[in-house]
Amino acid sequence: MQSKDEKNFFDWLVEIRRRIHEWPELSYQEHRTASLISEELNNLGIPHRTGVAKTGIIAEIGHEGPCVALRADMDALPLKEETGLPFASKVPGVMHACGHDGHVAMLLGAARLLKAEPLSGRVRFIFQPAEENGAGALEMIKAGALNGVSAIFGGHIDRHFKVGEIAINEGLICAFTDTFTINIEGKGGHAAWPHEAIDAVVVGSLLVVNIQTIISREVNPAYPCVITVGKFEGGTAHNVIAERAYLEGTIRSTHPDVRKRIIDGLKRIARGVGDLHRAHVKLKIKEGYPPVINSPEETNIAREAAKLVVGSVGVLKQPHPSLGGEDFSFYLQKVPGCFVRFGAMKKGFEKAPAHSPKFNFDEQVLPIGAKFLAQVAKLALKRLVEKKDS
């Protein structure tokens, strides 16, 4: 049974999450969200800087000594919400479908918990814009978010695990996230005389099918990876052979050599299919987020913190690396740290994945995430002080 203080804390976290959920904002547009965060930090008496990397916020508590950072992302997705929740999005075509509203509530919760405790150093709270689209982590780093930071921790709500479970893995846990576009230029014509034309839709269709053989026949199946074509545009009418077509997709890989092999294969197939059908095929590849790689020592600290919050039975491992992307990876290229998964499976929403218009999570995860972040910061500071004194 919850104590009065625990219930008040939970209710406060839920209220914050739902206020953010009702008014979601896309990458670098999180003005209302930032205002809410600033209001709550002011209420807690925590000094902070607003307008970092456009809409981000950096707050800090503690005094002299080492500094540990905690991070939450703030942005929503361009989706029309279909959850039917009483606090559903009031912004047409925009929705928190990935749990970032919960992440903000958790980090504010950690700030509230840590503000009430003596610290052996400093804790920095990074409220980051544009994780979904815009590499907000990079912009926060450029703005000094990691200056003086010795370690960083964060996490993500995950419907694959139950409430009370925290998944923690050392090493690579999220994939490379490269994207590509293919512009096809053929020769238009009448549908009844295909021999006089070069059908860009046929060329595009062959590309969609053939690039899948890179994964199935050219990559070691021991390494998780995928190529997905998410957009295919071509044609203007039922009786006109398309002169142009356009493809857009993503490459997800978990090893640098595999990534290179996929990209090389994509270039070769695009060139070959174009030559085969006398079409001009232009491939562009855009480098995405690097993989999230948790450092060994910080992963152990995260496990210790998780055990104190959910017990040993609640500390799990991801069965395999996720092929999702996460720009937390940019922080980990600068300082050691660990990114975890907070179990938040909700009854009735089991089949609604992240980035779905029906996505929702169990709000009982909010105090768990807040307590974990507070605990991991304290343990990391303790470890840093011990290192310094040894």
Determine which one of 289, 298, 326, 331 is catalytic. Answer: 289
Annotated binding residue at 277? no
Is 39 part of the annotated catalytic residue set?
no
Check whether 100 is labelled as a binding-site residue.
Answer: yes
**Which of these is catalytic: 82, 170, 185, 363?**
363
DSSP-assigned states of every residue in 231-286: EEEE-SSTTEE-SEEEEEEEEEESSHHHHHHHHHHHHHHHHHHHHHTT-EEEEEEE
For β-strands 166-167 and 315-316, DSSP reports them as parallel
Q: How far apart, in whole angstroms, are the C-alpha atoms of residue 55 and residue 49? A: 10
Query: What is the rounded distance in angstroms from the CA atom of residue 360 to the CA atom of residue 125?
Result: 25
Asked if 28 is an active-site residue, the reply is no
280 is in an annotated binding site: no
Structure tokens at 225: 């990876």
* Strands, sheet with 48-52, edge to edge from the N-terminal-most edge strand: 48-52, 56-62, 122-128, 67-73, 149-158, 337-343, 166-167, 315-316
Task: Decide if 58 contacts 331 (C-beta within 8 A).
Answer: no
Residue 255 labeled ligand binder: no
**Of 373, 343, 350, 9, the residue nearest 164 (C-alpha):** 343
CA distance from start to end of the chain? 43
Residue ranges at the known binding site for Mn(2+): 98, 100, 132, 156, 355
Active site residues: 289, 363
Residue ranges at the known binding site: 98, 100, 132, 156, 355
